[in-house]
Every structure is written in structure tokens, then in C-alpha cells.
Amino acid sequence: MGASKPTPCPRAHTLANPMPESRLDIDHWWRHPNLRTLNLLLLIPLLSIFSQGFDGSMMNGLQSVTHWQNYFGTPKGATLGFFNAAYPLGGVAGVFLISPVADGYGRRMGLALGAAFCCIGAALQGGSINIAMFVIARVIIGAGSVIVAGVGAPYITEIAHPAQRSTATALFLTFYSVGSIVAAWCTFGTFRIDGTASWRIPSSLQGFPSVIQLLLVWFVPESPRWLVSKGRSEEALAVLAKYHGEGDENDAVVQFEYAEIQSVLGAEQSFSKLNLFSFFRELATGPGNRKRLFIMVWAAICSQMSGNACVSYYLSPILTSVGLTSDLQQTLINATSQMLSWGSAVYFATLPAKLGRRTLFLSSLCAMWVIFICITAASAMFAQSHANKAAAYTVVVFLYLFSPAYNLGFNGNLGLYIPEILPFHLRTKGLSFFYFVQFCFMILSTFAVPIGLESIQWRFYLVFVVWIIVELIGVYFMFPETKGPTLEDIAYIFDGPNTKYSGELEAGGDEVKVEHIHAELK
């Protein structure tokens, strides 16, 4: 791929027709009963990332709650890092259940399993009587959270109307911010309670969205792609017709989707029994898959090692370092910053379809780099003179701005990009691998950040100032643009015209070359 701009698709796509225009009024989708129902039901898998957002914000808030600090012996440094690292540690274990359940028993069953883990973990967390019980509960929640996240992203991608797929999938990670807001205001509202209820209430509420998922996921339609992969093609066509064609099986979009899914999954049939070893062997085979492998690893690293752990889990010690020490100040800043984060995440979820995925990744990293430079400089000035309130407030302002900068590229955009670069038979296994790498680096960042902040104070931020430049270089040279093509057609961007993952659609035996992907990627 060239350094100056995204490389367009390397070939003229061979299809009977590009995606036809939908006869439905997509701009006013609520006027169509079945499409309206589908989009409302999408809220169930959209809740899948809620628990992860809740966790970081809750732990931020609890560090500002005196009763939590006293109950667990005021954890600092490595001990505090262990508290927070227990969550991604559970996530590392949970990734191994994503593909066997979601591919073997369906997306709904996978979502239900993860939600059940989260419910159990939240109950134990709220009722914890010692450090060990609290940590074990966080391990269980971490396992459940990664399962629902690993299933929820491809689930949305596979059932959303094709005209709304990019926005629907991008909205997925915005619910991270919804969870963060709920947790932040919950800890703000309970920190005044004189007793352990000040931390037990938010700890228990972490399981509330999982209860909703566990009860309502059975009303969400199963993935048509999963149904076809299990030989249940008639059911798949019925789902597509009901929700994408308002009951009309002959709808042009429905027929296009159905034919393309049949063609692609038929070509992928020989890969459907991939085990763990053959999955990694395939990822290492061919330049296209090796590029997918690099992107998944690099995106996972960027999503966890860009300094976001500082804001997500350790806002309290950062605020303390610039003189903001009261429970009220810290919980209020946490709550209001999460609202800004959510607002930006929702708006930015509409941008991948307009501006492109790669553009947002690069813009996000540039913005975070500038913000960390400003935080570092202001923190150094405050360290020289604690009377310098302007420096302290500057740190707070840029802490507020960090989440929107991160959300620009690594919220909805990331949630869309990873599922869509993977062909169907690699999708849940690939996401499992992505979350495995992501949670490994989450363990590293959540454990290392409090130690770094305690040992070298503001100088620790310089690590991120340098490292974000390295991340930016990797994205600039290796991440292709995927804006434009259908979900099945993205394989051509990575594998070229001879991809083994796609079949050819024919009309009357005549193949017609169309340049729509090539043109849209320019």
C-alpha cells in the first residue's frame, strides 16, 4: 500500500451487479415496521460493550470513594494495578469460548452465555467480603464481557440492513461510553452513603445490562450468515426478507444479499471446520491474511497502549497529582467527562461511512498525541509550583478532551473495522484473537500505569508521547481503507481477484465487470 493515500481495490470486481438500491426509505427507516423492529432489537447486542465501559468508570469512581478505600486497605501501585488487571485477566480466558459457542450454537447463544457470566460476576462483586472475592468476581465479569463483545460485534454486522451496516456496527462501541456514564453518575450519587453500600450498589449494577440481554436476546433474529453456514438457508432467506425487505423475498436487496451470502459461504465451506491451530496457520498463509493478522495485533495494541488506561482506570491518582483531591471533585469530573465521551462517540459513529476508516484512525492518533504533549507540559509546570492552578486546570481540560480524541478512531470505527476485514469463517475466531491480544495489553497497561504514576509521576506521560508516534506509523503504512464495498467484497481488498473466500455471482451465464468498489475507494 502506498504511503500517500489508501490503495484502491486491486481489481475490477467481477459481479453481476453492484448492491442494488433498496426500495425501502432508509433515511426514514422508522416508517417500515419490520426494519424499525430490527433496529430496536439491535439495542440488545449493542449493550454488549456496556459492561466494559462501566468497569473502567466504576473503578475510577471507587478509587475516589473513601469507604471503598478503607474497606480494601487503600490499594496503591501494584496492588491497585492487580485490582484492575483482574478484569482483563478474565477476558483473556473468555476469548477461548467465543468462537466455539457463537459458531457452533449461534450468535444468540453466545451472547446469552457471556451475559450469564456477567450476571454471576456482578452479584459476587456487589457482595464481596474481602479482596479475594472482589478480584475473583472481576475475573468472571471480564470473561463474560469479552464473550458478549466478541459475539455482539459480528452479530450486529451480520443482521443490520446493508445500507445501515457501517453506522450500526460503529455504534457498537459507543455503548462503552453509555456504560461509563451510568457507572460515573452511580458512584457520584452513592459516594455520600455512609457505609459499604457506597461501593456495593455500583458494583452490583454492572450486571444490569447483562440481565436485559439474557432475557431479551431470544427475540433478536439469528444471523442469516450463521444460518446458511449450518445449512438452514430457507430460514436465512426468511430473516432477510422479513427485516431487509419488509416480507418480500423477491426484493432486489434481499435477493442480492442472499445470493452473495450463499456464494461466499459456499466458497468458504472448506474452511468451516477450522480448529485453533489451522486458524493460526491460515492467518499466516498468504499476504492478505498476514496483513489481517498485523492489523488485528496493531489495532489491539493501539486501543490499549495509547494512554487511555490513564483516563479509564486511573483518573483519581492523576487528579490527585494536580491538587484535586476531594471525593466530590473527582467523582464529578469522572461523571461529566464520561458524558462528553458518550456524546462524541455517538457523533463519531456516523463518520466512518462518510470519511473512511483509515482517516479516522490517523486523525485520532494525531489528536491523542497533541493532548498528551499538553498534559505532560501542564503536569510538569504544576510539579514545579503547586500554586500554579492554571496548570492544574489545563490538565483537567485535556483529560476531558482525551476521550473524544480516542473515540474518533478507536470507538465505533474500530468496532466496525475489525469485523469487516475478516471473512465469515474467520470472523468470530479472528475477533477472539483480537480480544485476546487486546486484553493481554489491557492487563499490561492497567498494571503498569499506577506503578509508573507512583514512581516517576508526570514523566510517565512521555512514554505515550513517543509511543503514539510509533502507532501512527504502523497505521499509516498498513491499514487499507474499507469504505464502500459490501461485507463480502472487502476480501478483495486484501486478497486480490483470486481470493479463495469469494464466489462469483452470475447472471444468465454472463459476467459483467463493474468498477464500483475501485471507484468508491479512490
pLDDT at 517 over 60: no
Q: How far is CA 472 from CA 352, 373, 445, in A?
A: 18, 15, 19
Contact 24, 246 (CB under 8 A): yes
Q: Which domain holds residue 218?
A: 25-521
- Encode pLDDT of 463-474 as tens digits: 999 999 999 999
- Neighbouring C-alpha atoms within 13 Å toward the C-beta of 337: 28
Percent of the chain with pLDDT over 70: 89
Q: How confident is the model at residue 351 (pLDDT cuts 50, 70, 90)?
A: confident
Taking 50 as the threshold, does the pLDDT of residue 504 lie above it?
no
Question: 336 near 326, Cβ under 8 Å?
Answer: no
Quickly state the pLDDT bin for 318 (edges 50, 70, 90): confident
Inside any domain, residue 218:
yes
Task: Examine the pLDDT at 515 and tell me if it is beyond 70.
Answer: no
Report the SS3 class of residue 13: strand
How many Cβ atoms are within 10 Å of 456's Cβ, its own excluded? 12
**pLDDT beyond 60 at 267:** no
Q: What is the pLDDT of residues 450-463, one digit of tens each?
A: 888 888 888 889 99
3-state secondary structure of 14: strand
Task: State yes or no: pLDDT of 509 exceeds 90.
Answer: no
User: Confidence class of residue 487 from pLDDT cuts 50, 70 and 90?
Assistant: low
pLDDT at 483: 84
Residue 14 confidence (pLDDT): 40
Listed in sequence order, the residues at least 6 apart from 347 whose beta carbon sits closer than 8 Å to its beta carbon are none
* CATH at 442: 1.20.1250.20
Average pLDDT (196-216) is: 90
- Residue range 264-274: average pLDDT? 59
Tell the residue number behind the cell numbers 478484569, with chain if given. Answer: 87
Per the prediction, the chain carries an average pLDDT of: 82
Q: What is the mean pLDDT of residues 325-342?
A: 82
- Residue 320 and residue 457 in contact, taking contact as beta carbons nearer than 8 Å: no
DSSP character for 92?
H
Query: How many distinct structural domains can be found in the chain?
Result: 1
* pLDDT tens digit sequence for 94-151: 888 888 888 889 999 999 999 999 999 999 999 998 888 998 999 999 999 989 988 8
pLDDT digits (tens, 9 = 90+) for 370-381: 999 999 999 999
Q: Given this model, what pLDDT does residue 257 score?
A: 87
The answer to whether residue 341 is domain-embedded is yes
Residue 4 lies in a domain: no
pLDDT at 234 over 80: yes
Q: What is the pLDDT of residues 430-449, one digit of tens each?
A: 888 888 898 889 888 888 88
Q: What is the pLDDT of residue 501?
A: 53
Looking at the DSSP assignment, which residues form a beta bridge with residue 513? 14
Residue 439 lies in a domain: yes
pLDDT in tens, 10-36: 333 444 456 777 788 888 888 999 999
Tens digit of each residue's pLDDT (9 = 90 or more) over 144-171 = 998 998 888 889 988 999 888 877 877 7
**366 within a domain of the structure (yes/no):** yes
Q: Which contiguous run of DSSP H or E holds residue 514?
A: strand 513-514
* pTM across the whole model: 0.71
Beta bridge partners of 404: none
Could you tell me if residue 13 is inside a domain?
A: no
Residue 97 within a domain: yes
Residue 7 lies in a domain: no
User: How high is the pLDDT of residue 429?
Assistant: 80
What pLDDT is recorded for position 7?
Answer: 36
CA atoms within 13 A on the CB side of 444: 14
* Percent of the chain whose pLDDT exceeds 90: 30
